[in-house]
Chains A and B, each alone.
Chain A
Amino acid sequence: MRQRSTSRAFYELISSMRFAISLLTVLGIASIIGTVLKQNEPYNNYLNQFGPYWFPIFEELGLYAVYNSAWFLLILAFLVLSTTACIIRQTRPMLKDMRSFREHAKEASLAAFQHHERLRTALPTDNAAQQVQAYLAANGFQSRVGAREDGVLLAAKQGSWTRIGYFLAHSAIVLICIGGLLDGNLPLKIQMALGGKTTTSGNQLISDIKPESRLGLDNWSFRGNVFIPEGKSSNVAILNVKDGILLQDLPFTVSLRKFHLEHYSTGMPKRFASDILITDKASGKTVEKTIEVNKPFEFDGIMMYQASFEDGGSRLHLLGHDLRSGGKAPFPTDATVGEAIKLKRDGLDYTVELGSFRPFNIENMANEEQVETSAVARLEKHLGSGARSVSKKDLRNVGPSFEYKLRDSAGQAREYQNYMLPIEQDGAWYMLAGMRDSPAAPFRFMRIPMDQDGKPDSWFAIRSMLLDKSRHAEIASRFVATALGADAGEKVRTRLHETTQKTLELFALGGFESLGKFIESTVPAAERDKAADVFVKILEGSAWEAWKLARSVAGQPAPELDQKLGRLLRDSLNATSDSLHYGAPVYLQLTGFEEVRATVLQVTRSPGKPVVYFGSLLLVLGVFAMLYIRERRLFVLIKHSGDALVALSANRKSMDVEEAFQRHRKAIAALLEPAATPPAQS
């Protein structure tokens, strides 16, 4: 007995409105967590974010995949349970209520309605009843006549379908939740628990993956990605689960003929499309198809979507420039994007990990000029068409670029980003070489100046001379000879020679930074600017001598000094100074490439989809029925005595109930007492 009352109380609780509202609230709050914390990131990111103490705690709480965690599914399960219980509890009384006309209602209870009014009738009861019945029918009411001793009661109702709305909307919730569960990762979890499947690491060849990490063709619910480079094919999908992967066998093979990547002139992506060939394993049947974003394709019950694209292993031709002092001549090497190459030569011991390659880059090359204008002028600028750009734009394709990590033998790595083509900045052309110490930092760019031939060679030559200590004495002598006339005294010559050599020594150590520190520590504050000027002049002169020297060593004619050359020398000094902080002994110049693209298709089998869609349809119908079909019950009691009573009830209190009551009351009063009714007033 006690047992029964407990289960009864439980049933009462979960089918109660209070419980349902609490569930909705808890569900809402729980959902917020997953929007604040990025979901399904690589576990390393979380480890970095939370540290070793919190990371396992949050993992245990399932915060990295909130919507798949056991506790979240439990809340959803309770919602389904509560809604189901609510439906079961309401069905009987609601259906009964829907069908009933309540034609045996007592006069006293009608008189207790909020909307009721006593009327008189001059007509005989039967006649009055007929007229009212006709009125009710004309106004969309179904009615039933209840004869009683003192007269007749017309019980009418309309809009009972609103009750059906309740069933539709609430069963829709249950259906959507069930469908969602079928398509979520619960089936996968069950397979892993019962079928002994375990995830494996993503860093291995597909052929090495063991059967316990492969899911068979009989798997009826999955979502995974297929990666296919151009000209290659694949017959497995990769499912990311927690921190590992599972492999899903597909009943067909997909080959990528070509991946189309189109852009607008602004550089924004315009179209991603994969020309694929599908070969069914069982029948050998083939289908050719182009899959695009927003245009998926279904084959064998599996939907395929254009999810993203990646580099499929583009081949890059590189030229390595040794940046160490006295470095060797440039060396060519080839590399494939996504792979790593060893850089082991002349005492270098590095690994180059080629991260990405971009065949083009659109940049806004306009110089932002900040001109203060009046409010009217600013407004005027914003009038006209929405097609016009208010700020000046100069979008240009600045050519290909690639990124790589350079890892030393101790495992330390820095990231680099180099452009293939020179880029014009402030009227001169440069090769941009970017570097950063951490992935979070922006790239800092070294600007390598281009010479008259449009090549970086002059800079490399000047640089290697300036940084080569064994050349400093010679450069200093040449500079002194040029700077001082033949009549300068020996003492002056020696001093300038010493200063120049010292300057070159400091510059070779750490560029302008070393010189700056030297000036700060030795020169009084008032004279620092002047001293800096002197050092810069010496450096520029030395750079000029260094270049002439480099050219004579290479057997080239001496250059003529002009304004352009002056700029080149200053830029060379800047770039040389920056190169001392480049953090790598080698600069990899991109000289050519063969691009290979790869597509990433998402493949899914989602058995819950029709259920969810059907549930959604029911939900819409239900919501509209509940909110917009108004249930009204109108009672008209006509007594033999000539007394009458009109009463109206609605399932909801709202202002239009009163309005409807007044309308019906007036009309019925006019029917019952035709003579006494004054002309209609509005």
Chain B
Amino acid sequence: MDIAHSGTPSPLRRIGLGDGLFALALVCAASFALSQYGAFMDIYDKAILVAVIPSLAAIGWAWKPFRVFLAAATALALLSINLYGGDLARAEQAFFLKYLISSQTAIMWMSALFFIATGAYWIGLIARSDFAEKTGSALTWSAVTMGTTGLLVRWYESYLIGTDVGHIPISNLYEVFVLFSLITGLLYLYYEGHYATRRMGAFVLLVISAAVAFLLWYTFSREAQEIQPLIPALQSYWMKVHVPANFIGYGAFALAAMIGVADLLVRKGILASRLPPAEVLDDVMYKAIAIGFAFFTIATILGALWAAEAWGTYWQWDPKETWAFIVWLNYAAWLHIRLTKGLRGPMLAWWAVIGLLVTAFAFVGVNMFLSGLHSYGSL
């Protein structure tokens, strides 16, 4: 199998007409959002919105399919908002809302699509079917599109409950599980395109499916999907930057761990003829941990800045903070061993897999077993 790489030095040099239109569309979308919803934002919210534009543009320029995804999710969300027309009860009456693009329904679609995508990738892997793998890929794209639509619409719905209730839907365990699934899915799709192989999907989609399974359990048995207003400590623009940065970290670490599993199997000769070679897996694992570590560092620092404002101290060894610190130490050590010692091989893969356990504990375990300031989503 060939690993085809784009042969040009900088992706930013290949900006074409589509990229220009994409950037223009983003600017228009931001202007529309500012004019339409500016009254609900403070100066920091607006600054974040403006800063998001170049970031999204850069992602779209470096990774072309992202543009289509973003356009589709935005179009669906706008359609949904239009169908709502400011009346929550429409979710029960309008067919498209009830069965397609109201927030809960869209998230259900995301869940179903992720499950089917997982199956498709596995069929593709076992039966060496190119078609099944392509199907898996398309399903994963659809899943992240529906999930993003779901979150965007949920954001709007929260304001329909009451303008004092409205907030970005990344405030509790339910919402961040959706976010986690989306970010992990998108990171995977990026690497799938970058390394031109769909063979890793079977493994990465497993961890997303696990998250989705948890999400469904959380919905059906704990009714966690209901939009809740924000407690005073969470009413801050910091949430908009702290939480997504954190979940880029969690998502990347989860992805690295699943690649680690594949890497270990390949090294043992299991599925070795079907999966990409160990050196490719090793490279993806490193890239994922590097991006995860960089964003986790930012997220932790942003969290500290927020904590200083909300709780009066930037660091107070709250269980969530301490576990974030442990996660950070873990991957710092991983990167040191690899980059400075130049170590390669199964040990790093094992370490990445164990890293997921530490990360999962920091993400969910702390809420379940320990009490502290971050108890926004107890089980």
Question: How many whole Å from B366's CB to the nearest CB in chain A?
Answer: 7
Q: Pick from B161, B308, B370: contact of A35, CB below 8 A.
A: B370
B348 interface residue (CB < 8 Å to A): no
B313 touches A606 (CB 8 A): yes
A296 interface residue (CB < 8 Å to B): yes
B103 touches A386 (CB 8 A): yes
B314 touches A612 (CB 8 A): yes
A565 interface residue (CB < 8 Å to B): no
B210 interface residue (CB < 8 Å to A): no
- CB nearest to A18 among chain B residues: B341
Chain B residues contacting A38 (CB-CB under 8 Å) are 371
A293 touches B233 (CB 8 A): yes
The complex places the Cα of A383 from the Cα of B106 at a distance, in Å, of 8
B330 interface residue (CB < 8 Å to A): yes
B191 interface residue (CB < 8 Å to A): no
A391 interface residue (CB < 8 Å to B): yes
Decide yes or no: A266 and B229 within 8 Å by CB, A383-B104, A384-B92, A387-B88 being known contacts: yes
B5 touches A656 (CB 8 A): yes
Question: How many whole Å from B329's CB to the nearest CB in chain A?
Answer: 5
CB contact list, B219-269 vs A, under 8 A = 219-220, 223, 225-229, 231-233, 235-236, 238
A663 interface residue (CB < 8 Å to B): yes
Chain B residues contacting A412 (CB-CB under 8 Å) are none
What's the A-B contact tally at a CB cutoff of 8 Å?
182
A270 touches B309 (CB 8 A): no
A616 touches B301 (CB 8 A): yes
Decide yes or no: A24 and B333 within 8 Å by CB, A303-B312, A382-B219, A386-B225 being known contacts: yes
B301 touches A619 (CB 8 A): yes
B126 interface residue (CB < 8 Å to A): no
B164 touches A264 (CB 8 A): yes
Decide yes or no: A620 and B91 within 8 Å by CB, A67-B317, A378-B220, A386-B103 being known contacts: no
Chain B residues contacting A327 (CB-CB under 8 Å) are none
Chain B residues contacting A303 (CB-CB under 8 Å) are 312
Q: Pick from B229, B279, B332, B371: contact of A655, CB below 8 A.
A: B279
The complex places the Cα of A626 from the Cα of B319 at a distance, in Å, of 29
B312 touches A294 (CB 8 A): no
B104 touches A382 (CB 8 A): yes
Chain A residues contacting B134 (CB-CB under 8 Å) are none
Contact with B along A37-70 (1 / 0, CB 8 A): 0110000000000000000000000000011000
B314 touches A609 (CB 8 A): yes
Chain A residues contacting B158 (CB-CB under 8 Å) are 386-387
Decide yes or no: A619 and B297 within 8 Å by CB, A21-B336, A654-B283 being known contacts: yes
Decide yes or no: A627 and B290 within 8 Å by CB, A20-B336, A389-B226 being known contacts: yes
Chain A residues contacting B229 (CB-CB under 8 Å) are 264, 266, 268, 270
B312 touches A307 (CB 8 A): yes
A271 touches B232 (CB 8 A): yes
Chain B residues contacting A542 (CB-CB under 8 Å) are none
B337 touches A31 (CB 8 A): no
B314 touches A386 (CB 8 A): no
A223 touches B329 (CB 8 A): no
Chain A residues contacting B99 (CB-CB under 8 Å) are 383
Q: Pick from B102, B232, B329, B330: contact of A272, CB below 8 A.
A: B232
CB contact list, A598-628 vs B, under 8 A = 602, 604, 606, 609, 612-613, 616, 619-620, 623-624, 626-628
- CB nearest to B103 among chain A residues: A386
B231 touches A268 (CB 8 A): yes
Q: Pick from A32, A606, A682: contact of B7, CB below 8 A.
A: A682
Contact with A along B1-19 (1 / 0, CB 8 A): 0010101010000000000
Chain A residues contacting B322 (CB-CB under 8 Å) are 31-32, 34-35
A604 touches B313 (CB 8 A): yes
A390 touches B312 (CB 8 A): no
A36 interface residue (CB < 8 Å to B): yes
Q: Pick from A183, A388, A626: contact of B226, CB below 8 A.
A: A388
Q: Pick from A17, A264, A294, A612: contact of B341, CB below 8 A.
A: A17
B232 touches A223 (CB 8 A): no
CB contact list, A273-323 vs B, under 8 A = 292-296, 303, 305-307
User: What number of A residues sit within 8 Å (CB to CB) of B?
Assistant: 71
Question: How many whole Å from B279's CB to the nearest CB in chain A?
Answer: 7
The complex places the Cα of A573 from the Cα of B276 at a distance, in Å, of 77
The complex places the Cα of A467 from the Cα of B85 at a distance, in Å, of 65
Chain A residues contacting B97 (CB-CB under 8 Å) are 384-385
Contact with A along B93-123 (1 / 0, CB 8 A): 0000111001111001000000000000000
B133 interface residue (CB < 8 Å to A): no
Question: How many whole Å from B267's CB to the nearest CB in chain A?
Answer: 17
B312 touches A659 (CB 8 A): no
Contact with A along B151-164 (1 / 0, CB 8 A): 00010011011001
The complex places the Cα of A359 from the Cα of B232 at a distance, in Å, of 19
The complex places the Cα of A627 from the Cα of B236 at a distance, in Å, of 31
Decide yes or no: A386 and B104 within 8 Å by CB, A35-B319, A67-B317, A270-B229 being known contacts: yes
Chain A residues contacting B227 (CB-CB under 8 Å) are 386-387
CB contact list, A249-276 vs B, under 8 A = 264, 266, 268-272
A627 touches B223 (CB 8 A): no
B325 interface residue (CB < 8 Å to A): yes
B357 interface residue (CB < 8 Å to A): no
Question: How many whole Å from B320's CB to the nearest CB in chain A?
Answer: 9
The residue in B286, B305, B312 that gathers the most chain A C-beta atoms within 10 A of its C-beta is B312
B315 interface residue (CB < 8 Å to A): yes
Q: B residues within 8 Å of A by Cβ?
A: 3, 5, 7, 9, 88, 91-92, 97-99, 102-105, 108, 154, 157-158, 160-161, 164-165, 169, 219-220, 223, 225-229, 231-233, 235-236, 238, 279-280, 283, 286, 290-291, 293-294, 297-298, 301, 304-305, 308-315, 317, 319, 322-323, 325-326, 329-330, 332-333, 335-337, 339-342, 344, 366, 370-372
30 contacts between A and B (CB under 8 A): A25-B333, A28-B325, A28-B326, A28-B330, A36-B370, A66-B317, A67-B317, A270-B229, A270-B232, A379-B108, A382-B220, A383-B102, A384-B91, A384-B92, A384-B97, A386-B154, A386-B157, A386-B158, A387-B88, A387-B160, A388-B226, A390-B223, A604-B313, A609-B308, A616-B304, A623-B294, A626-B339, A628-B294, A654-B286, A655-B3
User: Which 7 residue pairs spanning A and B have beta carbons closest together?
Assistant: A305-B312, A293-B232, A385-B91, A35-B319, A384-B91, A602-B312, A655-B283
Known: A386-B154, A619-B297. 14 other contacts (CB 8 A): A21-B336, A32-B326, A270-B231, A292-B232, A293-B232, A295-B309, A305-B310, A307-B311, A385-B160, A386-B104, A388-B88, A602-B311, A624-B294, A655-B3
